[in-house]
Amino acid sequence: MASYSSSSDQKSDTLEAGNVEDCKVHVFKSSSELLEKLQEKWSKVEKQPYPAMYSSTYGGIILDPALMVIPIDDHMVHRGHGVFDTAIILNGFIYELDVHLNRFLRSASKAKISSPFPRSTLRSILVQLAATSQIKKGTLRYWLSAGPGNFLLTPAESSTPAFYAVVIDENFSQCKEGVKVITSTIPMKSPDFATMKNVNYLPNVLSKLEAEEKGAFASIWVDEEGYIAEGPNVNVAFITLDKELVVPFFDKILSGCTVLRLLELAPKLVEQGRLKGVKTTNLTVEEAKSSAEMMFVGSTLPVLPIIEWDEQPIGDGKVGELTMALSDLVWEDMVAGPTGTQRIAVPYI
């Protein structure tokens, strides 16, 4: 039993007790009462942002947003033991689902998470989820978790990995305006974690917040050797003064599906004589800042021009012509690329 040796301690204890008395916590006595409360919250939302979710813990697709939840003892929630990936839905087609799904499973393997389903089943679930959502433009985000079962560091022997997915009603369009960036002071992830698309995104969050606090769009990570790495959730690419497209090596960063597709499409500009070459290589900060053009590359952008870095203009400080030409190539691929490989038609119900 604790003893209190001073009147100030006793006063503090009394105040704390008083606060507890002042704050009467409601106890939900039935699941129906709780569900009613949750549904009341969502009934005030004008447009439902999450039209459909899949949960392997439920064993199906959920349409009621009040039930789109993850167990509190899921290891992805309290230990960050999970991986994820995202594909976009554009004009009724899922873009690059297979490429993203392959990376998703590679990440899961690195994180020592086995899938509760074979790859073909995961793919089928995602396509059916997109169809059920009725969304023609949005994002399809999905996770593999070590699963629910306890609050220890490692999952219980009896726990089963969990698969979750959600369709997000999201409007996006080709980016044509340039943005400002800064060099991040937040330490970047080690290569083992940076090359795995896991849910531990606190460094990424802090890096983005740091940029926003300084009036910039996002940050650029520079590795310990002084080479350009990546943005907080996007790859970065450059056009040199010699008109070469240059992308940093992927040995210490995530190999973005969109930037890999950009590297496949960019030779078209070489054939046209607009680009002199395409390559991946190490770039120092000095080399990168002296480039003619600079851009972020990511799924929903797909290419975002960068016109200023650390308050210094990139090139002439305007959106680059070749940046937009590359953006056009990827956007055209997203809108009208090969079906069955790049684009999968959603069989809407």
Active site residues: 197
- Write the Ramachandran bin of 79: left for phi over 0, alpha for psi from -120 to 50, otherwise beta: alpha
- In the chain, the N- to C-terminal Cα span, in Å, equals 65
What's the CA gap between 242 and 82, in Å, rounded?
A: 42
* Residue carrying the six token digits 């050797």: 225
**Exposure of 270 by Cβ count < 10 A (0-12 exposed, 13-18 middle, 19+ buried)?**
middle
What is the rounded distance in angstroms from the CA atom of residue 137 to the CA atom of residue 246? 31
What is the C-alpha radius of gyration for the chain, rounded to an integer number of angstroms? 24
SS percent in the chain: helix, strand, coil, step 5: 35, 25, 45
Q: How far apart are CA 222 and CA 238, in angstroms?
A: 15
How far CA 307 is from CA of 61, 98, 168, 189, 223, in Å, comes to 43, 33, 30, 26, 22
Identify the residue whose tokens are 């199906």.
60
In eight-state DSSP terms, residue 65 is G
Q: Where are the beta strands (DSSP E) in 59-189?
A: 60-62, 82-90, 93-95, 137-145, 162-169, 179-183
Residue 16 carries which side chain, given as an amino acid letter? E
Main-chain phi, psi angles of 180, to 5 degrees: -105, 145
> Helices (DSSP H) in the chain: which residue ranges?
7-22, 31-43, 75-78, 97-110, 119-133, 191-194, 202-213, 257-265, 267-271, 285-289, 321-336
